[in-house]
Amino acid sequence: MSEKHEEDQEFDVGSEDEAAGKGTWKHAAFHVATTIATPAAYAPLPFALASLGWPLGVSSLVTATLATWYSSLLIASLWRWNGKKHVTYRLLADSIFGFWGYWSIAFFQQVASIGNNIAIQIAAGSSLKAVYKHYHKHGTLTLQHFIIFFGAFELFLSQLPDIHSLRWVNGFCTLSTIGFACTTIGVTIYNGKKIDRESISYSLQGSSSAKRFAAFNALGAIAFSFGDAMLPEIQNTVREPSVKNMYKGVSAAYSVIVLTYWQLAFTGYWAFGSQVQPYIVASLTVPKWTIIMANIFAVIQISGCYQIYCRPTYAYFEERLASNRTSMLKNGLIRPIFTSIYIVVITLVASAMPFFVDFVSICGAIGFTPLDFIFPVLAFLKAGKMPKNKAVGISMRILNVGIAAWFSIVAVVGCIGAIRFVVEDVKTYKFFHD
C-alpha cells in the first residue's frame, strides 16, 4: 500500500472510530434499504420494463436482484479478508487490487454519488411540485424552485457528522419506503382497473433503432435501481460479529426490496403498458389524496438516501485536508463550506437539466454497475476466499466470472443508451425548463 493510501487509511479509521461498532444489524438494514430501496430508484422500473417487454424485463429485474444480493454478501465477507479492517470501499479495493483498484473505486463512487444525487434532486423537486400544484393549481413556483428548496434542506442534514448519526433518519426513511411502495402499488392497481384494458398495449414503441437504444437505457436504469456504493462504509458502523450482522442486515434490506421493487415494476407496467411514464407517480391520476401521500413519502425517503451518497465525496475532501492538518478543519469551518459548494453544484445541474431517467441510466451504467456487480465478484476471486469444497469453489468461480462478464456488457450498452437520450433531450428542451 502506498504512503498516500496509508495516510488515507489512518484518517478514515480515526474519523470513524466514534461511529464504528455501535450499530446493530437492524441499523445496517436501515442504511442499506435507504440507499437501495428509494423511490428515485424503483419508480422508473415500470418504464424500464416497458422498454424491454415482459420476458426480458422480468428476467432482467430478477437477475439483477439476485446478483446484487449475492455481491453484497461477498463484499461483507471481505471485511477483514487479510486481517485488517477496511472502513471504506476505496481502501478495500486498494488492499486487493492496489493503486488502480483504489482510484478506480474512487472514480466510480464519485460518478455514482453525484449522478444519484442529481437524480434524487430532480425526483424530489418533481414530487414537491406535484404537492404544491394540488393545493395551488395556478401557482407560479416552478420545478427549479422546489429543487432549490430540497437542496437547502439537504445542506442542513449534511452537517451531521457520519453515517451512524443518520441511523434514526434512515429508520424513518425505511418506513417511508414501505409507505411509498404500498401507496403507489395500491393506487397503480386502482388506476389500472379504471382504464379500459383493451386500450393498453405492451408492444415496444418506435423504430428498430429506437427500441434498441430504449432497451439499452432500461438496462442502465435497472442497474441504478440496485445501486449501493457504500457497503464497507455502512459495515464500519456495525458491531461485532460484523460480517454476520451485515449478512442479516443486507438480507433484511433485500426482503424489503423484493416486496417493493417487483410489485411496483410489475403492477406499473401492467396498469399503463407502453405508455407508462418514466416516474410512475406521474402516470397516476386518481384518487388525488393518495397521489399526494405517495409524493410526500418519496421526498422523505430520498432525503436520507441523498445523505448516504454525499458521504464518499465529503470523506474524500476531508481526508485530503486532514492530511494537510489545516486549521479550517480544526475549527469546524470546512464542513459547512464544502457541503455548501457541493450541494450548490448538484442543485445547479439538476435545475438546468431535469432529465430524470437519463441521469438514472448514466449513473447506473457508469457508477453502480462496476461497484455493485463487477467489482465484488472480481474482488472475491482475487482475495482467494473460495470455499474449501472443490465443487462449490468451481461453481462460485463460474458464477462470479459470468456475473462480471454479463454486467460489463450491461455497463457499456447502458451507457450508450443513456448518452443517446441525453443528447436527444438537450435538442428538445431548453436549459432550466419546467
- Per-10-residue mean pLDDT of the chain, 434 residues long, equals 49 44 86 80 88 94 93 93 88 93 90 84 91 90 94 89 76 84 92 91 88 88 82 89 94 88 92 91 88 91 85 74 57 76 91 75 83 93 85 92 94 86 77 73
The pLDDT assigned to 364 comes to: 81
C-alpha cell at position 122: 430532480
> 24 lies in a domain?
no
pLDDT value of residue 16: 42
Any domain includes 8:
no
Whole-angstrom Cα distance, residue 431 to residue 18?
44
Examine residue 302 and state whether it is found in any structural domain, yes or no: yes
pLDDT for position 224: 81
Distance (Å, whole) CA 327 – CA 343: 23
Please report the pLDDT score of residue 418 as a whole number.
Answer: 81
Query: What is the model's pLDDT at position 329?
Result: 52
What is residue 246's predicted lDDT score, i.e. its pLDDT?
95
Task: Tell me if 159 sits within 8 A of 335, measured CB to CB.
Answer: yes
| CA separation for the pair 6, 171 (Å, rounded) | 34
The CATH number assigned to the domain holding 66 equals 1.20.1740.10
Peptide bond into 241 cis (omega under 30): yes
Residue 226 amino acid letter: F
Residue 238 belongs to some domain of the structure: yes
Please report the pLDDT score of residue 185 as a whole number.
93
CB 301 within 8 A of CB 35: no
C-beta neighbour count of 334 within 10 angstroms: 18
Burial of 302 by CB count in 10 Å (0-12 exposed, 13-18 middle, 19+ buried)?
Answer: buried
Query: What's the whole-model pTM score?
Result: 0.82
29 assigned to some structural domain: no
DSSP assignments along 14-56, one per residue: HHHTTTTT-B-HHHHHHHHHHHHS-HHHHTTHHHHHHHH-HHH
Q: What share of the chain is helix, strand, coil (3-state, %, to 5)?
A: 80, 0, 20
Residue 407 domain flag: yes
CA atoms of 173 and 346, how far apart (whole Å)? 22
Nearest in space to 36 (alpha carbons), one of 70, 69, 62: 69
Q: What is the largest CA-CA distance in the chain?
A: 68
Give the per-residue pLDDT at 188: 94
Number of domains in the chain: 1
Is residue 301 in a domain?
yes
Rg (alpha carbons) of the chain, rounded to whole number: 21
> For 23, phi and psi rounded to 5 degrees?
-80, 150
Calculate the dihedral angle through the C-alpha atoms of 366, 218, 284, 261, rounding to the nearest 10 degrees.
-80
**Range(s) of the domain holding residue 94:** 34-428
Is 6 contained in some domain?
no
